[in-house]
Amino acid sequence: MIVYPSESRPNDIYKLMIGSITPRPIALVSSISKTGIFNLAPYSFFTGVSANPPAIGFSPLITGKDKTRDSRNNIEETKEFTVNIVSEYLVDRMNVASSDVPPEVDEFALSQLTPKHANIVSCPLVKESLINMECRLIEIVEVSNKLLGGAFILGEIICFHIDDDVVENFKIDPNKLNTVGRMGGSSYTRTRDRFELVRPEVKKADA
């Protein structure tokens, strides 16, 4: 099957993407509106971008006419957000936080997750997450303002909060963090079934 996006329906292309780009990590993103309302929502179009300085990016899509996500609107206004890592025990509350509710609804209260003061940014951390990242906006790269188009929000991590139980000498214990990944549709995957694969060592030819 050959698919040319220019000749296809955006919703079909979206289905191809979420089924192919798997598993996707989940960023539970908090932000704050300029009137001080907290916002929380999961994003799985999410990735690390740089480690020096540490930077991450995620993509809020456009889902209706001129309908940009509250997270994006807040970040455009305040230039700050946090990313909170989703362990398996948080999935139900993360899912509630994904409800498409109006901007005046605080998804922390809705999902019964606890807002915790951050050290630098003004939006709260998710207290129940084992790892939180305070981020300052670098840039919003607008790809398209069409339906299912969107933007890439690029942010610098300016502070990590890591539960002491899951880290030793900067190495995160995956059994303790126990993250989940997003698959296509409403599917998720656990991260317990892992294997090791050491990268090949290329010997330098003798001079």
User: What gap in Å lies between CA 130 and CA 86, rounded to an integer?
Assistant: 8
Is residue 142 within 8 A of residue 154, CB to CB? The reply is: no
Classify 64 as helix, strand or coil: coil
Q: Considering the complex, state which of residue 66 and residue 196 has its C-beta at the smaller distance from ligand FMN.
A: 66
26 binds ligand FMN (CB under 6 A): yes
Residue of 38, 45, 81, 108 that binds ligand FMN (CB under 6 A)? 45
108 binds ligand FMN (CB under 6 A): no
User: What gap in Å lies between CA 86 and CA 110, rounded to an integer?
Assistant: 17
161 binds ligand FMN (CB under 6 A): no
Q: Phi/psi at 83 (nearest 5 deg)?
A: -115, 130
Residue of 33, 78, 98, 191 that binds ligand FMN (CB under 6 A)? 98
3-class secondary structure for 103-147?
CCCCHHHHHCCCEECCCCCCCCEECCCCEEEEEEEEEEEECCCCC
61 binds ligand FMN (CB under 6 A): yes
Residues near 22 by Cβ (< 8 Å), separated by ≥ 6? 181, 182, 183, 184, 189
111 binds ligand FMN (CB under 6 A): no
Only one of the segments 95-103, 111-119, 124-132, 161-169 lies at the binding site for ligand FMN (rule: CB under 6 A); that segment is 95-103
Is residue 30 within 8 A of residue 49, CB to CB? The reply is: no
Least distance (Å) between residue 16 CB and ligand FMN: 15
Q: Considering the complex, state which of residue 5 and residue 168 has its C-beta at the smaller distance from ligand FMN.
A: 5
Residues near 48 by Cβ (< 8 Å), separated by ≥ 6? 54, 55, 56
Residue of 44, 82, 84, 129 that binds ligand FMN (CB under 6 A)? 44
Residue of 30, 39, 84, 132 that binds ligand FMN (CB under 6 A)? 39
Least distance (Å) between residue 103 CB and ligand FMN: 7
Binding site for ligand FMN (CB under 6 A): 26, 39, 41-45, 59-61, 69-71, 95, 98-100, 182
